């Protein structure tokens, strides 16, 4: 059954702002792997033109917003299929990945899709038509832009923490341990004290080495004193300390200190406004309806990015809506507001009219092509 009417397709442009109701955190895999030492996980940066010229700013990637929307659409469709079919597990694992990721590409060469097949896929599966797929390849109609601060923000918040020893915070908990574990805990505490003392000594010696080398550079032509010749090199003690720390680590039952400070992560500060655009290109009334209901679903769990367990990632949003029909300029058509944990508010009469068009999954086929004989 062909549900779509291509002649009714319209492009919708949503221009507006996302507001960080709590800090926003995300780390691209390439940035995370390049992090050095105990530095916080970095946010991505992007260059933008301002009145002062080209400036760098942190931002939230559009892929993180789009991924959240796609999963909301999947959950929405699955819930409808479950209700209408009575089947609590309606999707296979291949269909799950197809709707969530666009499929899992195998080693077989990609076959060219003919126009008729493409239109059939779009007609049968509005979610895939909206978000696209890779197996078989189908272009997306949904463009989700980056969320970029209204003004360049080069210095993000840095959120740090420390993993505390619960027995130190509440010694009363020790009485619930068996005797052998109490002995282990006391031994670990002693080893940690020794390790900490050695590390402090190491820092002090490294400062002395730096000061000594600086003095040698300034007094290159002077002969060293007898006392300097008699003292063992500081580097020998550095090597000895490293060896002692290694011996302590071998004795320890834990690979890291229980009270280890956490490197932390960069975050877009709370209350930051970020300019953001969404474009739905040549969507049908059904695809538009699915998008609006997806946005409503998103508002009920308005969290993007990482570290949500510590309250990060909550957003609100507001977009000015314009619609553009073929060969005509885009025209203003109200607003959409995303209110956290409540839903969306639509002031556009046109969008209100189309919100409920996607009301049933009957007649559609959301299965992965790999599940179809």
| pLDDT score of 220 | 60
CA distance 304 to 25: 8
- Highest mean pLDDT: which range of 40-49, 96-105, 139-148, 244-253: 139-148
Query: Quick one: pLDDT band at residue 183, thresholds 50, 70, 90?
Result: confident
Label the pairing between strands 261-267 and 157-162: antiparallel
Calpha distance 133→101 (Å, rounded)? 7
Asked if 20 contacts 271 with a C-beta cutoff of 8 angstroms, the reply is yes
Residue extents of the structural domains in the chain: 6-155+265-371, 171-218+233-259
Token pair belonging to 104 = 């899992």
pLDDT band at 190 (very low <50, low <70, confident <90, very high): confident
Q: What are the CA-CA distances from residue 253 to residues 156, 170, 185, 237 (Å)? A: 37, 22, 10, 26
CA 69 – CA 317 distance, rounded (Å): 14
Give the Cα separation of 235 and 250 in Å (integer).
23
Of 157, 159, 316, 188, the C-alpha closest to 251 is 188
Q: Please give the share of the chain, as a percent, with pLDDT higher than 90.
A: 50
CA distance 255 to 167: 18
Q: How far is CA 221 from CA 218, 224, 232, in A?
A: 9, 9, 22
| pLDDT of 5 over the 50 cut | no
Confidence band, pLDDT 50/70/90 cuts, at residue 34: low
Q: How many CA atoms, within 13 angstroms, populate the side-chain half-sphere of residue 348? A: 23
Helical segments of 151-272, H only: 166-169, 179-218, 226-230, 234-251
Question: Over the chain, what is the mean pLDDT?
Answer: 85
- DSSP character at residue 363: T
Cα separation, 324 vs 197, whole angstroms: 69
Distance, in Å, from the CA atom of 304 to the CA atom of 147, rounded to the nearest integer, reads: 12
Q: How far apart are CA 182 and CA 4, in angstroms?
A: 70
Q: What is the pLDDT of residues 75-132, one digit of tens each?
A: 999 999 999 999 999 999 999 999 999 987 665 655 566 677 888 889 999 999 999 9
């Amino acid at each position: 059954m062909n549900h779509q009417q291509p002649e009714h397709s319209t492009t919708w442009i949503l221009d507006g702002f996302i507001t960080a109701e709590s800090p926003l955190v995300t780390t691209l895999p390439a940035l995370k792997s390049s992090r050095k030492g105990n530095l916080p996980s970095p946010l991505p940066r992007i260059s933008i033109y301002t009145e002062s010229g080209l400036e760098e700013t942190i931002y939230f990637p559009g892929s993180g917003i789009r991924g959240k929307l796609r999963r909301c659409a999947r959950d929405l469709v699955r819930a409808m299929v479950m209700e209408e079919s009575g089947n609590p597990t309606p999707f296979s694992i291949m269909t799950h990945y197809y709707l969530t990721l666009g499929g899992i590409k195998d080693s077989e060469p990609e076959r060219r899709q003919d126009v008729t097949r493409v239109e059939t896929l779009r007609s049968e599966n509005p979610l895939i038509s909206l978000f696209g797929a890779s197996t078989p390849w189908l272009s997306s109609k949904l463009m989700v832009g980056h969320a970029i601060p209204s003004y360049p923000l080069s210095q993000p918040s840095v959120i740090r923490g420390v993993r505390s020893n619960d027995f130190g915070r509440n010694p009363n908990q020790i009485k619930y341990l068996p005797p052998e574990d109490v002995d282990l805990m006391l031994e670990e505490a002693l080893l940690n004290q020794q390790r900490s003392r050695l590390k402090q000594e190491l820092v002090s010696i490294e400062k002395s080495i730096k000061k000594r080398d600086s003095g040698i550079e300034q007094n290159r032509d002077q002969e060293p004193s007898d006392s300097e010749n008699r003292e063992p090199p500081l580097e020998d003690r550095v090597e000895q300390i490293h060896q002692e720390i290694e011996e302590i680590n071998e004795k320890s039952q834990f690979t890291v200190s229980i009270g280890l400070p956490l490197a932390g992560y960069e975050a877009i500060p709370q209350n930051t406004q970020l300019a953001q655009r969404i474009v739905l290109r040549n969507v049908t009334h059904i695809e538009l309806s699915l998008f609006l209901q997806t946005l409503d679903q998103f508002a009920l769990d308005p969290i993007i990015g990482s570290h949500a367990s510590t309250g990060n990632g909550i957003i609100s949003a507001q977009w000015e809506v314009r619609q553009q029909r073929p060969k005509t300029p885009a025209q203003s058509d109200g607003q959409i507001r995303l209110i956290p944990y409540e839903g969306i508010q639509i002031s556009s009469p046109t969008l209100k009219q189309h919100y409920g068009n996607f009301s049933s999954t009957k007649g559609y086929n959301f299965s992965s092509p790999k599940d179809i004989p």
